[in-house]
Structure 1
Amino acid sequence: MKKGNFKMLLITLSCFFFTQSASSQSKIYFDEEWNTTTKEEAHFYRILYKKDDSLYHVKDFYINGILQMEGFFSDLDKEIFEGEIVWYTDEGKISEKSNYKKGVLHGLSVVYLENEKIDYTTKYIDGRVYEGVVLGGYYKQFFEKGELVKYVEFEAPNDFRNLQTRVYGVERDTIYWMNNQGDKLIGVGIYDSKNSNIIDGLNISNSLLISVHTNYKDSKREGVQKVFYEGKLLSEQIFLDNIIVLERSINPLTLETVEINFKDGEPYNGQLFQFNQIYEYYNEFIYKEGIVIIKNHYELVDGKLILNLEKSYKKQVED
């Protein structure tokens, strides 16, 4: 064998082994939490190879061989994304495509529906949202030129809480209060953009299963305020210039409406029921000229309201 042929053989063998090394990468196996594991316990596996001195080409697969993610890492240990990264469902359909620079979102991000049509897009600049939509667990945020312009709730945490759509302004924000399903407008409130305090219209506040609907005028309570528990009306108060003048509440024993009037913002004459949602009890008060003459304490026992005499009393009133 001539010397020249020997050199050619060495070159051919070198190319052969290089090709084999690049095309037959070892697999790294991961469990369902993306911790490294054995082949037998794996839910995913990864194949990677070095693209150049700074980038690794990474392909993640579901254990059945369907591609789960493809893109480039600049650091394997820290899994720092670089450039375009694409994710796929377990059916092989594209679910998301995002661009990164040094591990942070930079450029266009696209999220797809199950039919692979675009759901929404977001543009990032150095990790900050510049344009488009950001999806939360139960809401969407809309951005324009780096500013939040709209917040939309599309799912309530329970069957009784109202949804809101908030449109942000320079000095005033507008909230459109919707029903639990988001298909019926309940009312509109105008808020101060700086401190989010209500100025005019409807405000809804929620606490556990209690929901309070209050009307405002010039930052003061005006008109009807309604209190709901699990979507059912408990009571309603009437306000004039931020001062309560009348309250109607539901008698839980008869489901009839009782009424009490107020003087200088304090209960004066009539009957009133108050509900404690934490311990699930009712207090009944009967007032006469600002004095409680009867207090009855009802506790929920096996689904029934039982009068607790030890926590109740009746005041003797002279004629």
Structure 2
Amino acid sequence: MIKLISLFALLLVSTSSFSQEKTIYFDADWQPTTKNKMVYFRPVPKAVNGKFLFKDYYKSGKLQFEGFSLSKTEEKFEGLVTYYGEDGQNLGQSNFKNGILNGDFTIYYPDGKLKSKGTYLGGEVEKSLSFNYRGLEDWNEEYDLATKYNGAQKTIEIIFDGNIKGIRKETFFEDRMIRSYDETGKLIGEVTLDYNDEPVAGIVADYIFSPMKVEKIHTYKDGKEVIK
């Protein structure tokens, strides 16, 4: 799962303790560097109501990150932190408690679409929902996909086309069941699966994509397709 937390893992500075009496410059891997080699920079954090406001910037001067720390010299973040693209787009937000990820988080694609959301508890992902959209550079499928997790365990997968409440196919891994919906978002039926993921009883649809449409509907009973 682990693309869900990649934004925060990659964008948090790797060094957690440093002297902050002057501007710090970072390279592309967030390692301290010189001013002439910098990709990002961090001015001296400002004291605000007993906390310290950290702001990181792109070399261009555009804001890249902001959040409060309990320490001026350590990234002991508290409360909401926010990441930005160089174009000003909100790339994600997360909540911290005493320097540990805790609470709600959201991550966005550069175009503003939701990439993932969920909750952390004590630094670990408790629940999450991630999205892949048709047309993304690293997603080669002809449909959109939403995936729900409890911790690292995948629980639900939804294949859809633009509107997650419209035409879709929902697979419930723990309940071993598939629900099929038509072009209006109306439930066609559901089918139970055996431990080889083969249909046992109920109704399931086949789909074609681009755009997503129902191709055929199957009915099963006692593990065999009912031919009408």
1:169 equivalent in structure 2: 174
TM-score by structure 1 length? 0.39
Structure 1 residue 26: deviation in Å? 2.4
Structure 1 residue 133: deviation in Å? 1.1
CA separation in 2, counterparts of 1:103 and 1:152?
A: 34
Aligned length: 158
Structure 1 residue 117: deviation in Å? 6.3
Instruction: After superposition, give the CA deviation of every residue in 1:182-216 in whole Å (9 maximum; x if it has no partner).
Output: xxxxxx98243xxxx43447xxxxxxxxxxxxxxx
2:79 equivalent in structure 1: 83
The 1:64–1:144 alpha-carbon spacing in structure 2 relative to 1, beyond 3 Å, is: same
- The reply to whether residue 190 of structure 1 matches residue 193 of structure 2 is yes
Structure 1 residue 38: deviation in Å? 0.6
Q: List gaps (5 residues or longer) in structure 2.
A: 1-20, 133-137, 140-144, 161-168, 181-190, 201-220
SS at match of 1:90: coil
- The reply to whether residue 59 of structure 1 matches residue 55 of structure 2 is yes
1:141 equivalent in structure 2: 147
| Residue correspondence of structure 1 range 34-45 to structure 2 within 5 A | 34-45=30-41
| C-alpha contact (below 8 Å) 2:102/2:120 kept by paired residues | yes
SS at match of 1:79: coil
Q: List gaps (5 residues or longer) in structure 1.
A: 1-24, 155-163, 177-187, 202-216, 224-319
CA separation in 2, counterparts of 1:75 and 1:113?
A: 31
| C-alpha contact (below 8 Å) 2:45/2:72 kept by paired residues | no
Structure 1 residue 115: deviation in Å? 5.2
1:98 equivalent in structure 2: 94
Question: Which has the higher relative contact order, 1 or 2, with Cα contacts under 8 A spaced 6 or more apart?
Answer: 2
Q: Tell me the amino acid that sits aligned with residue 155 of structure 2.
A: V
Larger radius of gyration: 1
| Residue correspondence of structure 1 range 1-319 to structure 2 within 5 A | 26-49=22-45, 51=47, 55-74=51-70, 79-114=75-110, 116=112, 120-134=116-130, 140-143=146-149, 148-151=154-157, 166-170=171-175, 172-174=176-178, 190-192=193-195, 197-200=196-199
TM-score by structure 2 length? 0.51
| C-alpha contact (below 8 Å) 1:141/1:150 kept by paired residues | yes
